[in-house]
């Protein structure tokens, strides 16, 4: 059931506000580029969209044993998006932990959410099943995520199917809150469910993932990338055999970041086969990796080593985001009648 | 086991920082004065103590059906403490919902707290047993309370026995957090367990409580107070019978707020009995109520009707409290390595 939406929002006329989150993790790889960075960079160039890209460092704290990790990888994550061309012109990149309105609004959402909702959350149930005792942070994760969304009046949140529950929760919490205060105050977001585009790893079998150790880094030293690409598993077809690109991990990986020309060229040469073996294909993959990412490696490292410059670059985003968050917070507080004025 | 405490705190030399919370509720009565307001006002006059009196409006939101209540009663609570003489000279009165550092720090605490801790909390178990489905807010209540304490480097927190668990939780969370980040960052508070001084209600049987309807208001109209005092239940002893003050609700109630002279006078007259019946005692109780509270009623109503003046009066408290909270927040963020600078 669709409810009334608030009449006064912070939206920008003619643009749809899209919120995307990214957790800071070590060693970003081609799979991350394909699944998250590239779509965000492209969306940032779309004049119909107003992107808020949130580095969700608070979400990374929910495992007590790894509580110091997110802080170590935040700069790398931000530097990657900036180096790969995310446009700040009409969009924002923000650091979740710099927006205190989020946990405040999370508290309000927690006060309208029944405990059973959280007990049914996938991530929590998975943690229980794995025999670990989850932290309260993991348990409350869906609330913080809903707060991320509503704090910015987000209209669209792109999610994979496995994340859809979080958006349903956010919608539920919006309805519960608006009902509790008797009028539409929080904006109800829409999920944009995206087919999860899985990229094959260098083992040719599983999804590219750091935890499987089958990934190709984005910004490592050239020789390290070369080494990884040489390890991409292929079949035993010979130099002159026609080869099927669809079952060739080298081509699959190339497709995830290469130019149309590079992709078409390799496809053609593999199909024909003559004089084009997997060694050639790997060489071409390496060249394209160098062309796409190698050229940005310097910029990435520059940002990484100039946190002040990066902070300055992101300052307008932060200030715009804080303004939105403060406006929504005030709407919520007015509805609750908090304060003495 | 006592752990190392942080070496840099926000404490004021020569004074012990005491944090006391009070939930905004309707119709403050003599029982509230006796149990909460009077001790806080007295502590505010003690030069060895630095009091932070927190109006805990966020805590009042955990029942979804009553989510609009705390906002309605905040001004009344603040006006009561001010009218009754809480000294702001070297102390603070703050509104919890104006301190965004609290829910932020609550998030950090939730990320080190095992879920089982919260499941064992008394208030949560009571709610489950009463057949209500608790909100996530009620479930998370102990975390927010711990955050209230550690956000202000509180050294002492006075609690009744029924609240001791909350302080134990706060201590546990401090230890867990300090362990997780590998150094003492949060200050571990001490509970000051106080005998809960129960005041008898006008039914002469149960604790004075609004929910029993056996209370005497602080600042109601004189005739309403008179009416309530006339209803105080007494035994059937006659005008000239010697009466036992210890079993006389009139004297018990007088003892909770009266001057030593007034208390001694009534005790003496009751014991002697001659020419001093319960009617006389009630008249004396009424006079003392008028002397103690009636004289403040005007001031109370003045504050209540001048929210701007009250906000101005509390502005230095807020600014001092925000400064402490910001300092502690930065200590915590540095320990977690959050941010990019």
Residues A15-70: pLDDT tens digits? Answer: 999 999 999 988 899 999 999 999 999 999 999 999 999 999 999 999 999 999 99
* Rounded Cα gap, residues A114 and A92, in angstroms: 33
Residue B282 and residue B304: Cα distance in Å, rounded? 29
What's the angle, vertex CA B119, arms to CA B114 and CA B122, rounded to 5? Answer: 125
Q: Of B74, B336, B340, which is closest to A78 when you measure between CB atoms?
A: B340
* Contacts with B, A 136-165, CB within 8 Å: 136-140, 143-144
Does residue B3 carry a pLDDT above 80?
no
State the Cα–Cα distance between residues A150 and A332, nearest whole angstrom: 10
Q: Are A189 and A156 in contact (CB under 8 A)?
A: yes
What is the pLDDT confidence band of residue B167, given thresholds at 50, 70 and 90? very high
Contact between B341 and A311 using a beta-carbon 8 Å cutoff = yes
Nearest residue to A134 via CA among B128, B127, B119, B123: B119
- Indicate if the pLDDT at residue A298 is higher than 60: yes
Is the minimum CB–CB distance between A130 and chain B shorter than 8 Å?
Answer: no
Burial class from Cβ neighbours inside 10 Å (0-12, 13-18, 19+) for residue A290 reads middle
Percent of chain B with pLDDT over 90: 91
Domains of chain A (ranges; CATH) run 16-197+307-336 (3.40.50.620), 210-302 (1.10.240.10)
Instruction: Categorize the per-residue pLDDT at B2 as very low, low, confident or very high, splitting at 50, 70 and 90.
Output: low
CA-to-CA dists, residue A17 to A7, A94, A157, A159, A330, angstroms = 16, 14, 9, 15, 20
Per-state percent for chain A, helix, strand, coil, to nearest 5? 55, 10, 35
For A178-183, what is the mean pLDDT?
Answer: 97
Q: How many CA atoms lie within 13 A of B141 on its CB side?
A: 25
Q: What is the pLDDT of residue A163?
A: 87
The span from the CA of B198 to the CA of B36, in Å, is 11
- What's the gap in Å between the CA of B111 and the closest CA on chain A? 4
Using a CB cutoff of 8 Å and minimum separation of 24, what contacts does A289-296 make?
A289/A30, A289/A216, A289/A225, A289/A229, A289/A257, A290/A222, A290/A225, A291/A259, A292/A257, A292/A258, A292/A259, A293/A33, A293/A218, A293/A219, A293/A257, A294/A222, A296/A83, A296/A84, A296/A219
Is residue A326 packed enough to be buried (19+ CB in 10 Å), middle (13-18) or exposed (0-12)?
Answer: middle
Angle between helices B295-304 and B69-83 (to 10 degrees): 140
Q: State whether the Cα torsion A92-A96-A101-A104 is positive or negative.
A: positive
Cα separation of A51 and A54, whole Å? 9
Give A66→chain B minimum CA distance, Å: 9
The alpha carbon of residue B173 is apart from the nearest alpha carbon of chain A, in Å, by 11
Predicted TM-score (pTM) of the model is: 0.95
pLDDT band at B334; cut points 50, 70, 90: very high
B104 to chain A: which residues are within 8 Å by CB? 100, 103
Confidence tier at B161 by pLDDT (50, 70, 90):
confident
Query: Cα distance from A298 to chain B (closest Cα, Å)?
Result: 19
Distance from the Cα of B224 to chain A's closest Cα (Å) equals 27
Closest residue to A136, CB basis, from B97, B140, B333: B140
Contacts of B62 in chain A (CB under 8 A): 111
Interval B233-252 mean pLDDT: 95
Instruction: Determine the average pLDDT of the residues in A304-332.
Output: 97
- Residues of chain B found within 8 Å of residue A78, distances taken between Cβ atoms: 340
Tell me whether residue B157 is exposed, middle or buried, using C-beta atoms within 10 angstroms of its C-beta: 0 to 12, 13 to 18, 19 or more: buried
Half-sphere exposure of B277 (CA within 13 A, CB side): 8
Cβ within 8 Å of residue A203, ≥6 positions away? A212, A214, A233
Integer CA distances (angstroms), B108 to A62, A64, B58, B200, B333, in order = 9, 10, 18, 42, 9
- Quick one: which of B250, B245, B239 has its CA closest to B282? B250
Summarised one tens digit per residue, pLDDT across range B114-143 is 999 999 999 899 999 988 889 999 999 999
Residues B18 and B44 sit within 8 Å (Cβ to Cβ): no
B185 has pLDDT over 80: yes
Q: Which two tokens stand for residue B80?
A: 């009561």
Minimum CA–CA partner of A77 in chain B: B340
| B204 CA: distance to closest CA in chain A (Å) | 36
Contact A100 B101 (CB under 8 A): yes
Q: What is the pLDDT of residue B289?
A: 97
pLDDT reading at A2 higher than 70? no
Residues 187-226 of A with CB under 8 A from B: none
Distance in angstroms (rounded) separating the CA atoms of residues A248 and A285? 12
* Residue B160 pLDDT class (50, 70, 90 cuts): confident
Buried b (16+ CB within 10 A) or exposed e, B27-57: ebbbbbbbbbbbebbebbeeeebbbbbbbbb
Tens digit of pLDDT for each residue in A64-88? 999 999 999 999 999 999 999 999 9
Distance from CA of A111 to the nearest CA of B (A): 4
Chain A 38-67, CB below 8 Å of chain B: which residues? 57-58, 61-62, 64-65, 67
What is the rounded distance in angstroms from the CA atom of residue A259 to the CA atom of residue B264? Answer: 95
Q: What residues 163-192 of chain A have any CB closer than 8 A to a CB of chain B?
A: 176, 180-181
pLDDT band for position A161 (cuts 50, 70, 90): confident
Mean pLDDT of chain A: 95
The percent of chain B in helix, strand and coil, each rounded to the nearest 5, is 55, 10, 35
* pLDDT score for A21: 95
What separation in angstroms does the CA of A192 have from each of A156, A195, A233, B52? 6, 10, 34, 47
pLDDT band per the 50, 70, 90 thresholds, residue A271: very high
Residue A1: pLDDT over 60: no
Of B210, B260, B262, B234, which is closest to residue B35 (Cα–Cα)?
B210
A295 pLDDT tier (thresholds 50, 70, 90): confident
Total Cβ atoms within 10 A of residue B297 = 17
Q: Which residues of A touch B113 (CB under 8 A)?
A: 135-137
A134 neighbourhood in chain B, CB within 8 Å: 114-115
Residue pLDDT, tens place only, B58-103? 999 999 999 999 999 999 999 999 999 999 999 999 999 999 999 9
Contact A111 B57 (CB under 8 A): no
Substitution target in B23, B77, B111, B118 with the highest count of A β-carbons within 10 Å is B111
Q: Please tell me the distance from the alpha carbon of residue A30 to that of residue A88, in angstroms, as a whole number.
A: 23
- B93 vs A contacts (CB less than 8 Å): none
- Position B163 scores a pLDDT of 87
Interchain contact B135–A (C-beta under 8 A): yes
What pLDDT is stored for residue A44 in this prediction? 97
**Cβ distance of B62 and A181 shorter than 8 Å:** no
Q: Which of B78, B104, B136 sits opposite A103 (nearest CB)?
A: B104
User: Between these two residues, B7 and A149, which has the higher pLDDT value?
Assistant: A149
Chain A interface includes B131 (CB < 8 A): no
Contact B136 A143 (CB under 8 A): yes
């Amino acid at each position: 059931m669709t409810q009334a939406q608030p009449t006064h929002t912070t939206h920008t006329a003619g643009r749809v506000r899209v919120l995307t989150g990214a957790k800071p993790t070590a060693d970003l790889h081609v799979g991350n580029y394909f699944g998250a960075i590239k779509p965000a960079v492209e969306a940032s160039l779309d004049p119909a969209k107003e992107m808020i890209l949130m580095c969700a460092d608070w979400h990374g704290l929910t495992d007590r044993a790894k509580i110091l990790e997110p802080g170590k990888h935040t700069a790398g994550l931000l530097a990657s998006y900036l180096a790969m061309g995310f446009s700040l012109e009409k969009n924002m990149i923000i650091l979740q932990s710099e927006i205190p309105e989020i946990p405040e609004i999370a508290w309000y959402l927690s006060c309208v959410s029944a405990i059973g909702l959280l007990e049914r959350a996938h991530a929590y149930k998975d943690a229980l099943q794995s025999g670990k005792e989850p932290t309260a942070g993991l348990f409350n994760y869906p609330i913080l995520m809903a707060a991320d969304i509503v704090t910015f009046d987000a209209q669209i949140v792109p999610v994979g199917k496995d994340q859809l529950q979080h958006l349903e929760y956010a919608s539920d919490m919006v309805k519960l809150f608006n009902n509790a205060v008797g009028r539409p105050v929080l904006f109800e977001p829409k999920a944009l469910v995206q087919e999860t585009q899985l990229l094959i790893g260098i083992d040719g079998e599983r999804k590219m993932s750091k935890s499987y150790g089958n990934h190709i880094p984005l910004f490592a030293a050239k020789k390290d990338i070369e080494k990884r690409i040489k390890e991409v598993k292929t079949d035993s077809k010979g130099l002159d055999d026609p080869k099927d690109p669809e079952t060739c991990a080298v081509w699959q990986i190339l497709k995830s970041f290469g130019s149309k020309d590079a992709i078409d060229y390799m496809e053609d040469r593999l199909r024909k086969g003559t004089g084009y073996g997997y060694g050639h294909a790997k060489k071409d993959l390496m060249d394209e990796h160098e062309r796409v990412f190698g050229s940005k490696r310097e910029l990435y490292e520059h940002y990484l080593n100039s946190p002040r410059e990066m902070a300055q670059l992101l300052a307008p985003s932060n200030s715009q985001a804080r303004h939105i968050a403060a406006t929504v917070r005030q709407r919520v507080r007015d509805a609750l009648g908090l304060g003495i004025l």
